[in-house]
């Protein structure tokens, strides 16, 4: 979800960007309500995706959960602890500007690093200014340390030290139904707090324009997220950062609309590698499978058009024309879900890929060691 874009002296206009541009792929995340009022769902033990619970029962591959089974969230205490480490971000350019949110990730005695979305600050890459507003109202000039379009992550630096740092959690340990809080500056309203639950995990989401796409293996939440929340914090019941809010789905075909209960956050475990690389070197990397996908293919799965010479897929023996059906146990429905699964891995790691071989060769499993490339 893109931060609010406007001309400061004119009429407010909100760009659709990371709102209407969201493409969601994969399974359906729904829940049923029993006669007792308990919301029940079946959670896939492997992918953590949520499905309809029929008559309060689930197959062996899924676990029945009650989403309002008594898990409590002390929103007041969490908000009090976390809001000092969440900032508002204002970008000003010659043609206008925009707003977004961010979290103070690291600090020293002389400087602090703030994480946000790339799309919040991208207009200031070549010109313009970036300012960060703290909870106490102090406004600090900020510079870009580095950014990653593919993961929609950016890191800013302010020349002020000893700022309150957000506690980082473990997004691999969250589950569907867990309570969460979103903190940010929707529509420029600083330190706005909304609460909800995690409604799905491992949701493949594509945002951005052609050539500048971001592929997110998203945490889905019903906590209200609106334009300007971009780059803000999604925290768990302990106030620990588990996601960077990035996108919302919308029913609007043009312009921006508000939250409809479908918000998407970049899992912090995925973002953390990129963030640490940017802080250390100013740049980041991405994993490479070594394939080019056939974008004309309309069947289920991701069809490999050709291979990159010397890269992981070729070395593993995967032939061109194969259709990827599964990566690391996750079903692949199309090219987007394949790219999301690949980019959620670490460069140099070995992943399991199941493909449908060409010429009716049947299914075959391959172990592929991912390469590494500079991220865009």
**Residues known to be catalytic:** 119, 152, 230
Angular region, 105: left φ>0, alpha ψ -120 to 50, beta rest: alpha
CA distances from 15 to 99, 192, 293, 310 (A): 12, 21, 30, 42
- Give the three-class secondary structure for 314: helix
Separation between Cα atoms, residue 201 and residue 29, nearest integer Å: 9
Closest-CA residue to 376 (of 148, 154, 115): 148
User: How far apart are the C-alpha atoms of 142 and 89, rounded to whole Å?
Assistant: 9
What is the number of residues in the chain? 376
**Alpha-carbon distance values, 246 to 65, 258, 355, 365 (Å):** 27, 14, 31, 34
* Distance in angstroms (rounded) separating the CA atoms of residues 263 and 101: 15
Residue 176's nearest CA partner among 195, 161, 196 is 196
Contacts of 107 (CB under 8 A, 6+ apart): 113, 161, 162, 163, 164, 165
Look at residues 83, 133, 75, 73 and name the one whose alpha carbon lies nearest to residue 233: 83
Of 286, 291, 293, the C-alpha closest to 344 is 286
Four-CA torsion 124, 272, 353, 177, nearest 10 degrees: -100
Three-class SS state of 10: coil
d(CA 39, CA 42): 11
According to DSSP, residue 12 is labeled B
Q: What whole-number distance in Å separates Cα of residue 56 and Cα of residue 33? A: 9
Residue with tokens 């479908």: 262
Please give the Cα distance from 357 to 295 (Å, whole number). 18
């Amino acid at each position: 979800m893109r931060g609010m874009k406007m001309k400061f002296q004119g009429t407010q206009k909100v760009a659709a960007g990371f709102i209407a541009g969201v493409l969601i792929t994969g399974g359906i995340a729904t829940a049923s309500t029993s006669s007792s009022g308990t919301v029940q769902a079946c959670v896939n033990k492997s992918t953590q995706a949520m499905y309809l619970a029929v008559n309060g029962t689930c197959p062996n591959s899924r676990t029945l959960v009650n989403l309002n089974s008594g898990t409590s969230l002390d929103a007041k205490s969490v908000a009090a602890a976390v809001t000092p480490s969440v900032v508002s971000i204002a970008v000003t350019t010659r043609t206008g500007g925009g707003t977004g949110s961010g979290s103070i990730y690291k600090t020293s005695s002389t400087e602090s690093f703030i994480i946000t979305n790339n799309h919040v600050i991208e207009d200031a890459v070549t010109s313009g200014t970036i300012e960060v507003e703290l909870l106490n109202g102090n406004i600090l000039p900020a510079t870009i340390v580095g950014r990653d379009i593919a993961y929609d992550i950016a890191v800013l630096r302010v020349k002020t030290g000893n700022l309150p740092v957000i506690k980082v959690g473990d997004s691999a340990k969250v589950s569907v139904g867990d309570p969460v809080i979103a903190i940010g500056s929707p529509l420029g309203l600083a330190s706005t707090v909304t609460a909800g639950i995690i409604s799905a995990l491992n949701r493949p989401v594509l945002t951005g324009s052609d050539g500048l796409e971001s592929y997110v293996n998203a945490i889905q939440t019903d906590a209200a997220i609106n334009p300007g929340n971009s780059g803000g914090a999604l925290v768990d019941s302990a106030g620990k950062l588990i996601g960077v809010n990035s996108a919302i789905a919308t029913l609007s075909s043009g312009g921006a609309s508000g939250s409809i209960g479908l918000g998407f956050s970049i899992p912090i475990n995925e973002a953390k590698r990129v963030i640490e690389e940017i802080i250390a070197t100013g740049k980041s990397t991405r994993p490479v499978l070594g394939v080019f996908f056939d974008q004309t293919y309309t069947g289920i799965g991701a069809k490999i058009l050709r291979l990159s010479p010397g890269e992981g897929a070729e070395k593993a023996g995967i032939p061109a024309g194969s259709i990827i059906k599964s990566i690391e146990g996750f079903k692949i429905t199309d090219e987007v879900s394949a790219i999301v699964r690949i980019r959620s891995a670490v460069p140099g790691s070995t992943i399991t890929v199941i493909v449908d071989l060409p010429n009716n060769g049947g299914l075959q499993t391959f172990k592929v060691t991912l390469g590494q490339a500079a991220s865009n």
